């Protein structure tokens, strides 16, 4: 009797287990499809932001049979978008691909507290791209530098990719604002520095100052994460003029004050991150390019190229 009762129970349990397995597989497949769709959208947004940021230097996209995507540079060199490797935050900084560099979305606009420690958009730099655009060694870089007059002094900045042009434009606006708001002046001057070919302390990685694309404004003891406590830095942020941040961001400079490893005096010319933040901060709709000004002929050309290549 017991045998006849046990058999149906075992059969029922088996059926439930099989159903559970199929449900698990179905969920996993759905999650995989969702992830892949989001990845393809992000890929396109990243490529668009990069091509818009470096229009003279990134000339094409190539996709190999293993679905590896490369940006083709004017020199003929190629840079891999995604090496598909799992990396720790330190590994991403030490050996990044373009996907690593673009992964953290830069936040435009005001902030009222320090960012999380692991939020540092812009600290990951793909050096083959920077060397292609701004110069591969000190001699090449220095050949691209021009002097920008800021108050009574001249500061060297890279003229390639309109970096110096936008720095000059930013300071024209900042100087105008400081006439009506003298408090801004103390945050701007004296300038902490621009071009300085050097390695980041205790690393073999070049500082962005080495390429002549960064500027440190007036230096304060609470500006840097290795000098100051979180409390000191947040007190500094409370009084920091938002107009400075807005003007610098509108000219394609990211602000180190929005890094978890904060560097409040530091601004870095990174048009790819500003453009991605500008165009893709809102959640996408059905089409990844839906919020773009496609009536702009160059925007439309880049969108068409991406769709054609991918």
How many residues are there in the chain? 310
* 259, 224 Cβ separation under 8 angstroms: no
Average pLDDT over the chain reads 90
Q: Angle, nearest 10°, between helix axes 242-250 and 163-180?
A: 150
Chain segment 149-172, per-residue pLDDT in tens: 998 889 999 999 999 999 999 999
Question: Any idea what DSSP says for residue 267?
Answer: E
In a domain? residue 227: yes
In a domain? residue 293: yes
In a domain? residue 172: yes
Give the chain's domain count. 2
Residue 243: give its domain's CATH number.
3.30.1380
Q: Angle, nearest 10°, between helix axes 271-280 and 2-53?
A: 120
Residues 37 and 96 in one domain: yes
The domain in which residue 254 lies consists of 107-269
Q: Report how far apart, in Å, the C-alpha atoms of 12 and of each of 18, 24, 220 are.
A: 10, 18, 71
Q: Please give the Cα distance from 206 to 186 (Å, whole number).
A: 29
Residues 234 and 215 in one domain: yes
Query: Is the confidence at residue 46, as pLDDT, over 50?
Result: yes
Query: Higher pLDDT residue, 210 or 66?
Result: 210
Query: Is the confidence at residue 17, as pLDDT, over 70?
Result: no
> Which residue, 199, 201, 244, is CA-closest to 224?
201
**Largest Cα–Cα separation, the chain:** 102
Chain segment 119-148, per-residue pLDDT in tens: 999 999 999 999 999 999 999 999 999 999
Q: What percent of the chain has pLDDT over 70?
A: 91
């Amino acid at each position: 009797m017991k045998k006849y009762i046990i058999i149906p129970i075992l059969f029922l349990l088996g059926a439930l287990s099989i159903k559970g397995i199929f449900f698990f597989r179905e969920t996993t497949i759905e999650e995989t499809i969702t992830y892949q769709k989001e990845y393809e959208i992000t890929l396109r947004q990243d490529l668009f932001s990069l091509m818009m940021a470096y229009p003279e230097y990134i000339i094409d996209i190539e996709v190999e049979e293993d679905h590896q995507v490369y940006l083709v540079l004017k020199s003929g060199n190629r840079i891999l978008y995604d090496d598909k490797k799992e990396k720790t935050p330190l590994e991403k900084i030490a050996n990044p691909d373009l996907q690593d560099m673009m992964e953290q979305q830069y936040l435009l606009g005001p902030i009222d507290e320090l960012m999380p420690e692991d939020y540092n958009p812009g600290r990951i730099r793909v050096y083959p791209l920077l060397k292609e655009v701004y110069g591969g060694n000190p001699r090449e870089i220095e050949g691209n530098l021009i002097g920008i007059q800021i108050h009574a002094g001249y500061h060297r900045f890279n003229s390639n990719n309109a970096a110096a042009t936008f720095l000059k434009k930013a300071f024209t606006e900042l100087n105008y604002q400081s006439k009506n708001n003298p408090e801004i002046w103390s945050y701007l001057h004296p300038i902490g520095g621009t071009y300085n070919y050097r390695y980041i302390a205790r690393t073999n990685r070049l500082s962005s100052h080495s390429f002549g694309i960064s500027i440190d404004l007036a230096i304060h003891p609470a500006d840097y994460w290795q000098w100051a406590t979180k409390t000191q830095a947040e007190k500094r942020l409370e009084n920091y003029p938002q107009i400075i941040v807005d003007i610098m961001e509108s000219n394609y400079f990211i602000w180190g004050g929005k890094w978890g490893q904060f560097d409040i005096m530091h601004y870095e010319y990174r048009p790819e991150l500003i453009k991605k933040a500008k165009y893709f901060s809102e959640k996408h709709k059905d089409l990844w390019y839906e919020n773009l000004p496609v009536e702009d002929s160059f925007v439309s050309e880049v969108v068409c190229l991406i769709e054609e290549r991918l």
